[in-house]
A and B are shown apart, each in its own frame.
Chain A
Amino acid sequence: MKTNEVMKVLARHRGDAVIVCALGMAANEWWAATRSEDSFYMHGAMGFAASFALGLALSVPDTPVWVLNSDGSLCMNTGCLITEAGQQPKNLKHFVIDNQVYQTVETMPMVNQDGADYAGMARAAGIKQTATIDNLADLESKLPEIVKAPGPYFVRLRVEAEPEYQRVPPAPYEGPEMKYRFGRAMEKKLGVKVFGPRGY
């Protein structure tokens, strides 16, 4: 399955979930598929989208939070799985788009390419519910159960590497604007106060 196909399926099953995207391919493809304002598109801190999502999930425990991580980002901070397991957030789903390459940097091969079992690592870290899905039919059939189950839930989405990949453009606004767009979207959607009366 291809990444953009996966994103479309995830978008159909998303419901009310707030999305946090790892920088690069995951963020760009989610933006291309959804144009979603109540999603946070990381511009940096590679490896830490899962940590950001955990902080958000713990802060809004009644709202589903999904992190759309990537294999490169996970490899940069596998310890996030232990921290996540330590908190057992019921509202957090952790998806990893796994194409075994660094897609946005000339599809260079992933560290230990195809040699690491990310779902097994998540289980060993203490996340009891995990799945590895490598085709769209299974994704369509298994997602409703994954969405319904209490978290944490770790899902490895094994997609094709795309050597002829044409980069989809990222969201057309940068860091500070994203902060305010996402923050205001959270205030509107969840009724929380992200910003004070003077806007900061």
Chain B
Amino acid sequence: MDVNDRIHAELVKAGVKLAATLPDDWVNSLIRRVEKDNTIRNVRVGREAETICICAGAFFGGVRSVAIIGNTGLLTCTGEMATLCLRHAIPVFCIVSARGSIDDHKVYQEVQGRRTIPLLQAYDYPYRIIDDPDDIGSIPDAYEWHRLQKRPFVLFLTKKLLGVKNA
């Protein structure tokens, strides 16, 4: 089982039946793994904020969902996370690439690396960073915990965890 198989398996264990996704180099393999699973409906979107609002709608249908996006996209949708999810106390579980880390030397990712976490803290969106494969097993707990928090939750996946080579 590779890392994406394991993350997918834990999402299944958490009861996820719907994913809303927009590609980023680091999470594309996870998106493809989720798409291979016929028990999870993958909704491809054109803008990351759609993932947040699709997952919020799914919540009221009694369906557990996940948004899988890149760090840049996360920055673009913090307003919708606030005015929909904080306003109405709706939990949304987000899996996000931890772009802009010290081992990510893409010039267009550096701002995300410096400012994403302070921004999440300003909004009081809880987050966790998974860097060690041994922590993947905590996903079902994190899922239950984010429902209790009643707000968006971000699970960052690092370059090391994902074994990204060239991106």
Binding site for B on A (CB under 8 A): 20, 40, 42-49, 51-60, 77, 79-80, 82-83, 86-87, 174-176, 178-179, 182-183, 186-187, 190, 192-194, 196, 200
Neighbour of B62 across the interface among A57, A179, A192, CB < 8 A:
A192
- Are A58 and B41 within 8 A (Cβ)? yes
Determine, out of B51-59, B104-112, B126-134, B156-164, the stretch whose residues face the partner at the interface: B51-59
- Are A52 and B147 within 8 A (Cβ)? no
Set of chain A residues within 8 Å of B56, measured between Cβ atoms: 52, 55
Q: How many B residues touch A, CB cutoff 8 Å?
A: 36
- Are B147 and A196 within 8 A (Cβ)? yes
Q: Which chain B residue has the least Cβ–Cβ distance from A179?
A: B88
Besides A45-B53, A58-B58, A183-B59, 14 other CB < 8 A contacts? A44-B80, A45-B83, A48-B49, A51-B50, A51-B53, A51-B54, A51-B57, A56-B61, A58-B54, A59-B61, A176-B88, A187-B62, A193-B62, A194-B60
Instruction: Report the bound CA distance from A40 to B41 in whole Å.
Output: 23
**Which label, helix, strand, loop or mixed, suits the secondary structure of the A interface?**
helix
Q: Which of B62-92 contact A (CB under 8 A)?
A: 62-63, 65, 79-80, 82-84, 87-90
Set of chain B residues within 8 Å of A53, measured between Cβ atoms: 57
Set of chain B residues within 8 Å of A183, measured between Cβ atoms: 59-60
- Are A179 and B89 within 8 A (Cβ)? yes
Instruction: Report the bound CA distance from A42 to B53 in whole Å.
Output: 11
Instruction: Report the bound CA distance from A190 to B63 in whole Å.
Output: 13
Set of chain B residues within 8 Å of A77, measured between Cβ atoms: 47, 49-50
Neighbour of A48 across the interface among B61, B63, B80, CB < 8 A:
B80
Closest approach, in angstroms, between the C-beta of B81 and any C-beta of chain A?
Answer: 9
Q: Does B8 contact A (CB under 8 A)?
A: no
Closest approach, in angstroms, between the C-beta of B54 and any C-beta of chain A?
Answer: 4
Assess A55 versus B61: contact at CB under 8 Å? Given A44-B82, A48-B49, A82-B46. Answer: yes
- Are A45 and B60 within 8 A (Cβ)? no
Assess A87 versus B150: contact at CB under 8 Å? Given A48-B50, A58-B58, A186-B62. Answer: no
Set of chain A residues within 8 Å of B65, measured between Cβ atoms: 55
Set of chain A residues within 8 Å of B167, measured between Cβ atoms: none
Set of chain A residues within 8 Å of B43, measured between Cβ atoms: 54-55, 58, 83, 86-87
